[in-house]
Chains A and B, each alone.
Chain A
Amino acid sequence: MAITKVCGIETEYGIVVRGSDLNPIAASSLLINAYLGSINRRVTWDFMDEMPGNDARGYRLDDSFPPEIETHLVNAVLTNGARYYVDHAHPEISTPECVSALEVVRFDRAAEEIIRASMKAANRLIGPDAEVIVHKNNSDGKGNSYGCHENYLVARETPFGRLVQQITPHFLSRQVFCGAGKVGCELPGITAEQVPFQITQRADFFEEEVGLETTLKRPIVNTRDEPHCDPAKYRRLHVIIGDANLSEVATYLKVGSTAIVLAMIEDNAVDVDLTIAQPVPAFRRISQDPTLTTAIGLRSGHTMTALEIQWELLRCAQRYAAQRGLDCVGDEVGHDVLRRWETVLTGLESNRTSVAHWVDWVAKERLLEGYAERHSLSPGDTRLRALDLQYHDMRAERGLASRMGFERLVPEAECISAMADPPLTTRAYFRGRCLQKWPNDVVAANWDSMVFDVGREPLRRVPMMEPLRGTASHVSSVIDESESAAELLARLAT
């Protein structure tokens, strides 16, 4: 049986400072430090177990460049179990480990609220003449891209070759409902007349089918093999192909559908061969065709549109759910994902406007078309690019996405509480609660361990190699009943 699809999202945000010459690294540090100062928190990340150079294929290529870890930059663990840090030249938030797409949406929304609170705190510090502005997007429109990565727990025993082959058609075609939309194309030599608008932010930047890199020669399937848990039992599939979504339902469908497809692959239940003949050009061709009619060649000799590939995957998922259930993605959420998945495909096929309250690129396209019509703008007009950028603006008073009438899945109060409280369902609960209760005794934390300093003894590392241990049902009473971190450690040791 497929294992529980523990999952999460890491989002790199765009950042600029107006009225100041702060560089992006300094600006990102300011943003995060201002937030940490405002909530009076300072527990740093522990890099002990980070191995981003490991390759899931079991070998290393001499010309591949594993990402560097920049230990000197701001890097904090939050009481909701998330990580908030400077990644290269961007602020980045990784949600805590979650067990369902709905939980991921809640913590992704909480991350947006953390960014908004951070902007306010930073702007108080830098004074009235400057302003830190953050965007939740994946491209600057000038050939520079940054990621919104998803992570899913997958059984180590699942053959990686099968995983690559069967997940690729989903990664290329799911963009029809989870693309964030973009004005123009950043590939050299393509004009605004040729591609006035495309479905994804990211398709311009992918050059390989499989590989380790995330910053150059980006691959459709990333092979970073860094499970942050027991490597004999698990792998963490690190997904770099997605856009950052502003619509909650888009995030929900992106994570929910992918978790189900991965469960099917684990159970060897994908009973259709959708292997795409040339994945890299297919990704771009699908993205560059908002009419969704482009046919893609399969290795079998057939051709299918992205929507047809999605219908095949959905039918497969429906058969899988009927036969085996969806406990591994959360039964109730899983079935809701299937219903909405069908609804979104039906809407994209028959009446685009009917899913404008769910799908980012559809909402953005309507906005751009409406604006262009009113002002008689032609493709490539700077005002359209300005509108596109402002769609992703995180400032409440400026951001356009929040004005698009998107359906909300998570009540506002739950997003706010998720800024400080961890999920109950994974080891993030242990991490978050310990940080809430004993902030001065936790020296450092990372995904799979925490280091305590309780005085008298040497530092104590508590390993957390099982993502589903340390949940509220396991440890809430022992945390509640312990007066001190020392008592907690003593009780955990018995």
Chain B
Amino acid sequence: MAEQEQKRKQAPARSDDAVVDEAAPSTEQGDKLKAELDDLLDEIDEVLESNAEDFVKSYVQKGGE
């Protein structure tokens, strides 16, 4: 495709100061999210709508904006 043949513009250099605390993905945060996701997947059958598949099939929203 023509777009991809063109020269890719370099992303600008980024300064790393001032964002270290927030930007560095902490292992702790990642572990916490992973554990939460696992817990959610463990309990999801209880949380899921009892007839979730029928529900999504019949979900129709007409008319908006």
Instruction: Determine if A214 and B52 form an interchain contact, defined as CB atoms under 8 angstroms apart.
Output: no
B27 to chain A, nearest CB (A): 10
- Please tell me the size bucket of the interface on B: 35 or more
Q: Which residues of B contact A357 (CB under 8 A)?
A: 29, 33
A429 to chain B, nearest CB (A): 29
Q: Which DSSP category, helix, strand, loop or mixed, fits chain A's interface?
A: mixed
Q: In the complex, A465 Cα to B56 Cα: how many Å?
A: 45
A399 to chain B, nearest CB (A): 9
Q: In the complex, A225 Cα to B1 Cα: how many Å?
A: 38
Q: In the complex, A390 Cα to B47 Cα: how many Å?
A: 9
Most chain-A CB neighbours within 10 Å: which of B4, B29, B58, B64? Answer: B64
B4 to A, closest residue via Cβ? A295
B5 to A, closest residue via Cβ? A303
A72 to chain B, nearest CB (A): 15
Instruction: Determine if A374 and B41 form an interchain contact, defined as CB atoms under 8 angstroms apart.
Output: yes
B63 to chain A, nearest CB (A): 4
Q: Which residues of A contact B49 (CB under 8 A)?
A: 386, 390, 393, 398
Using known A-B contacts A382-B56, A386-B53, determine if residue A89 contacts B63 with beta carbons closer than 8 Å.
yes
B41 to chain A, nearest CB (A): 5
Which of A38-46, A185-193, A322-330, A364-372 participates in binding chain B? A364-372
Using known A-B contacts A339-B22, A370-B41, A383-B53, determine if residue A140 contacts B61 with beta carbons closer than 8 Å.
yes
Q: Does A456 contact B (CB under 8 A)?
A: no
A385 to B, closest residue via Cβ? B56
Instruction: Determine if B62 and A386 form an interchain contact, defined as CB atoms under 8 angstroms apart.
Output: no
Using known A-B contacts A89-B64, A215-B64, A386-B56, determine if residue A346 contacts B14 with beta carbons closer than 8 Å.
yes
Using known A-B contacts A87-B64, A371-B41, determine if residue A303 contacts B14 with beta carbons closer than 8 Å.
no
Q: In the complex, A16 Cα to B59 Cα: how many Å?
A: 8
Instruction: Determine if B40 and A400 form an interchain contact, defined as CB atoms under 8 angstroms apart.
Output: yes
Instruction: Determine if A405 and B65 form an interchain contact, defined as CB atoms under 8 angstroms apart.
Output: no
A349 to B, closest residue via Cβ? B11
Instruction: Determine if B9 and A308 form an interchain contact, defined as CB atoms under 8 angstroms apart.
Output: yes
A41 to chain B, nearest CB (A): 26
CB < 8 Å: which of A339, A389, A404 contacts B36? Answer: A404
Q: Which of A294-315 contact B (CB under 8 A)?
A: 295-297, 301-304, 307-308, 311-312, 315
CB < 8 Å: which of A139, A386, A397 contacts B55? Answer: A386
Chain B 21-46, CB within 8 Å of chain A: the 1/0 string? Answer: 01101100110111011101100100
CB < 8 Å: which of A139, A339, A398, A405 contacts B19? Answer: A339
Q: Which residues of A contact B12 (CB under 8 A)?
A: 311-312, 315
B54 to chain A, nearest CB (A): 9
Q: How many residues of A contact B (CB 8 A)?
A: 68
Instruction: Determine if A354 and B29 form an interchain contact, defined as CB atoms under 8 angstroms apart.
Output: yes
B38 to chain A, nearest CB (A): 8
Instruction: Determine if A356 and B19 form an interchain contact, defined as CB atoms under 8 angstroms apart.
Output: no
Q: In the complex, A297 Cα to B52 Cα: how many Å?
A: 41
Q: In the complex, A347 Cα to B23 Cα: how many Å?
A: 7
Which of A96-104, A105-113, A142-150, A486-494 participates in binding chain B? A142-150
Q: Does A126 contact B (CB under 8 A)?
A: no
Q: Which of A336-373 contact B (CB under 8 A)?
A: 339-340, 342-343, 346-347, 350-351, 353-357, 366-367, 370-371
CB < 8 Å: which of B7, B25, B52, B62 contacts A144? Answer: B62
A319 to chain B, nearest CB (A): 11
Q: Which of A14-44 contact B (CB under 8 A)?
A: 14-16, 18, 24
Instruction: Determine if B6 and A382 form an interchain contact, defined as CB atoms under 8 angstroms apart.
Output: no
Q: Which residues of B contact A389 (CB under 8 A)?
A: 52, 55-56, 59
Q: In the complex, A340 Cα to B47 Cα: how many Å?
A: 32
Instruction: Determine if B48 and A390 form an interchain contact, defined as CB atoms under 8 angstroms apart.
Output: yes
A277 to B, closest residue via Cβ? B3
B35 to A, closest residue via Cβ? A405
Q: In the complex, A15 Cα to B58 Cα: how many Å?
A: 12
Using known A-B contacts A141-B59, A311-B11, A386-B56, determine if residue A366 contacts B22 with beta carbons closer than 8 Å.
no
Using known A-B contacts A302-B7, A315-B12, A400-B47, determine if residue A141 contacts B62 with beta carbons closer than 8 Å.
no
Chosen A-B contacts, 25 in total, with CB atoms closer than 8 Å, are A12-B65, A87-B64, A88-B63, A90-B61, A140-B59, A140-B61, A141-B56, A144-B61, A215-B65, A296-B3, A304-B9, A311-B11, A342-B19, A355-B25, A383-B53, A386-B49, A386-B56, A387-B44, A389-B52, A390-B48, A390-B52, A398-B47, A403-B36, A404-B36, A405-B32
Besides the known contacts A215-B65, A357-B33, 13 further A-B residue pairs in the complex with CB atoms under 8 A apart: A12-B64, A88-B63, A88-B64, A88-B65, A297-B2, A303-B4, A303-B6, A308-B9, A311-B12, A353-B34, A387-B48, A389-B55, A403-B36
Q: Which 4 A-B pairs have the closest CB atoms?
A: A146-B64, A354-B25, A386-B52, A89-B63
